[in-house]
């Protein structure tokens, strides 16, 4: 008789899939085979070589108690990732609601991971753009290193995808346009994000779109030695071919990742999946992203063109800079608005004439 898996372990497994650390196929195999063999999920995943020893516990601590920080009242847990937990909090001196991004314990113990967190904090405190989440302070209290950021009331594009929702063509174009404007700003500072994906596109309730998580960003004044040699860091499902190969990357790699995110938003599917991270990365290097999934859903030919151009394997065929992409997206969205306006006008009956009732046979 197979043992029942603890609910906490199932949540940890879901987090590993959500963050791209495990493929869905790996998680499915673990859920099916570990109980049958009388193994814990941790033991099964380590024996299969899919997780490093000790890594499971690091992810499992995602559900730990919030830190106690002087000057802040923790209101709720707002999100989490492999390196940090984000809390909704109130600044007791100003009464303002903020987000506190607290580094995990294991991040503080590892020098490279700690430097990535600190680099992101310094970088966010420097940047000022409406499409990038704003940060005010990087600080430490006791053994907790945390970043004070603006609190965004909303959800990520990934949250919507996980609910089974697909973005309309116009809606996805708006999200991609706003993300491209944030990338254009980063490019003007010599910064490559290197981890653009739906999970890092925050859709605020006020209609704005914020680019999150600059932990893997390279370049800019805040760059440190730790950012070099991390070319293959990132989420494999959205990774540009040159990034997967470990080559030097520029803003065109971010455009590729945004293109894959675009595809995922409108189709609800990932273009490439595999048994592990290396297999997915190999697919990005060797296989063309098919536009069939887009065409099957009756989107405009121009949408397929955008996705194909953004995700071209040859970097010289891709959009060369975010500004070039922005101009094309703006033109496309103007077309949508003009069609809507024409539709409103055509639906209005002429003065003095009654609208004839339509009969269906």
Q: For residue 241, what pLDDT is reported? A: 93
CATH (residue range 154-341): 1.10.510.10
Q: What is the residue extent of each domain of the chain?
A: 7-61, 64-150, 154-341
Q: What is the mean pLDDT of the chain?
A: 84
Question: Beta-carbon neighbour count of residue 357 at 10 Å?
Answer: 5
Q: Does residue 143 surpass a pLDDT of 90?
A: no
Q: Is 195 a catalytic residue?
A: yes
pTM above 0.85, yes or no: no
- In Å, how far are 138, 183, 209, 318, 331 from 310, measured between CA atoms? 35, 14, 20, 5, 16
Q: For residue 277, what pLDDT is reported? A: 83
pLDDT digits (tens, 9 = 90+) for 11-29: 888 878 876 788 888 999 9
In angstroms, rounded to a whole number, what is the distance separating the alpha carbons of residues 40 and 106?
Answer: 22
Maximum mean pLDDT: which of 2-11, 246-255, 270-279: 246-255
CA atoms within 13 A on the CB side of 35: 12
Nearest to 123 by CA among 42, 204, 185, 199: 185
Q: For residue 319, what pLDDT is reported? A: 96
pLDDT digits (tens, 9 = 90+) for 285-302: 888 876 666 667 677 788
Q: For residue 127, what pLDDT is reported? A: 95
CB 155 within 8 A of CB 84: no
Residue 81 in 3-state DSSP? coil
- Edge-to-edge order in the sheet of strand 97-103: 72-80, 84-91, 97-103, 144-150, 135-141
Q: For residue 195, what pLDDT is reported? A: 93
Q: For the ranges 58-67, 233-242, 293-302, which has the lowest average pLDDT?
A: 58-67
CB 194 within 8 A of CB 217: yes
CATH topology of domain 64-150: Phosphorylase Kinase; domain 1 (3.30.200)
In angstroms, rounded to a whole number, what is the distance separating the alpha carbons of residues 77 and 297?
Answer: 37
- Which one of the listed residues 9, 91, 143, 195 is annotated catalytic? 195
The end-to-end CA distance of the chain, in Å, is: 61
């Amino acid at each position: 008789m197979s043992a029942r898996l603890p609910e906490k372990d199932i949540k940890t497994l879901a987090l590993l899939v959500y963050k791209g650390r495990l493929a869905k196929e790996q998680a499915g195999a673990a859920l099916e085979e570990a109980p049958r063999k009388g193994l814990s999920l941790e033991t099964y995943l380590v024996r299969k070589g899919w997780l490093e020893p000790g890594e499971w516990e690091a992810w499992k601590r995602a559900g730990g108690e919030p830190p106690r920080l002087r000057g802040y009242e923790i209101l709720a847990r707002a999100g989490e990732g492999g390196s940090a937990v984000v809390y909704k909090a109130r600044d007791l001196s100003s009464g303002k609601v903020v987000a506190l991004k607290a580094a995990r314990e294991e991040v503080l113990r590892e020098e490279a991971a700690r430097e990535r967190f600190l680099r992101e904090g310094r970088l966010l405190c420097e940047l000022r753009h409406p499409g990038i989440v704003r940060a005010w302070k990087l600080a430490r209290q006791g053994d907790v290193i945390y970043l004070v950021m603006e609190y965004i009331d909303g959800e990520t594009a990934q949250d919507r995808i996980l609910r089974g929702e697909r973005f309309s063509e116009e809606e996805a174009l708006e999200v991609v346009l706003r993300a491209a404007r944030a990338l254009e700003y980063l490019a003007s500072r010599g910064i490559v994000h290197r981890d653009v994906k739906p999970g890092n596109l925050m859709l605020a309730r006020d209609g704005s779109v914020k680019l999150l998580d600059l932990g893997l960003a390279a370049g800019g004044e805040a760059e440190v030695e730790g950012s070099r040699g991390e070319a293959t860091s990132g989420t494999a499902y959205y990774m540009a071919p040159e990034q997967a190969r470990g080559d030097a990357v520029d803003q065109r790699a971010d455009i590729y990742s945004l293109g894959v995110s675009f595809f995922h938003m409108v189709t609800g599917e990932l273009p490439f999946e595999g048994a592990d991270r290396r297999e997915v990365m190999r697919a990005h290097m060797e296989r063309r992203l098919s536009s069939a999934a887009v065409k099957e859903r009756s989107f405009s030919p121009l949408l397929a063109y955008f996705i194909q151009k953004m995700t071209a394997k040859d970097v010289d065929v891709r959009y060369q800079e975010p500004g070039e992409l922005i101009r094309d997206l703006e033109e496309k969205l103007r077309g949508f608005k003009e069609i809507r306006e024409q539709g409103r006008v055509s639906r209005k009956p002429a003065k003095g004439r009654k609208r004839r009732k339509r009969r269906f046979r």
